[in-house]
Amino acid sequence: MSKSTGVVLDPARYFRGVTPPLLMEDRSKYRNNGVFQNHTTWAQLPSGLWYIVQDGVDDYISIVNHPSQVPASDLTIEIWVYMKETTADRWLLNCINTGVEGYRMGFSDVAKFCIQVPVGAWSHICEQLGVVLANTWYHVVGVVDSVRQMESIYINGALNNEVARASATITPSPTPLYIGAWSGANVSNANYLPPNIYSRALSAGQVLQRYEESRRWFGL
């Protein structure tokens, strides 16, 4: 997919074959590979797809800070995730430092996915309407659209909620990108595919297409 940033998954690279190396390989031109911390490892679905396993104690993935990880305006974060617990304040991606820069996705509240791309201090959080179940695979997508100035969250291909943004830009972050945690803390007890992070806003139709193309891996 064009105009990619951050970490981009090549599904075929994690399909069947031998166990992948203990890193999350960035397939974008920036090669921002993620380093597995502590006991983070791989497991395999019946479909043959490899996914990442965290124990919910101290496992996460870290990616050294690079300007490509935080686009200037449009942003899409896409992840397939299986939450083994639905505790509040557990994070799937984070590069927020002081609360005014970067972005994060995870659970701000119990069993509610959210995306937050602040403009002011800890502002602009788009939280899921309704709740999700533990031990279930979900396709979660957060989108920031600078043209519409909206922040949106999609669950399993469908628009779930959106909030208006006070700015069309995203503030750069000096912190590394953490996957599966908040700066090494607030760790998610989760299984997940390596995320896609795009420097463009996917449309509702494109989000649905991504879901429909990949759901078969999970028997959905």
Instruction: Give the lowest-confidence range in 31-40, 62-71, 135-144, 182-191.
Output: 62-71
- Side chain identity at residue 51, one-letter code: Y
Fold of 11-218: Jelly Rolls (2.60.120)
| Per-domain residue ranges of the chain | 11-218
- What pLDDT was estimated at residue 92? 96
- What pLDDT was estimated at residue 1? 32
Question: What's the whole-number average pLDDT of the chain?
Answer: 89
Q: Find the mean pLDDT for residues 8-17.
A: 59
Do the Cβ atoms of 120 and 78 come closer than 8 Å?
no
Task: Please report which helix (H) or strand (E) contains residue 208, including its range.
Answer: helix 204-214
Reading phi first (left if > 0) and then psi (alpha if -120 to 50, else beta), residue 89 is in left
pTM of the predicted model over 0.85: yes
Over residues 148-194, the pLDDT tens digits come to 999 999 999 999 999 999 999 999 998 899 999 998 889 999 999 98
pLDDT band at 25 (very low <50, low <70, confident <90, very high): confident
The number of residues in the chain equals 220
What is d(CA 148, CA 96) in angstroms, rounded to the nearest whole number? 23
- What pLDDT was estimated at residue 110? 94
What is d(CA 14, CA 19) in angstroms, rounded to the nearest whole number? 9
- Side chain identity at residue 128, one-letter code: Q
Helix (H, G, I), strand (E, B) or coil at 125: strand
pLDDT band at 14 (very low <50, low <70, confident <90, very high): low
pLDDT band at 105 (very low <50, low <70, confident <90, very high): very high
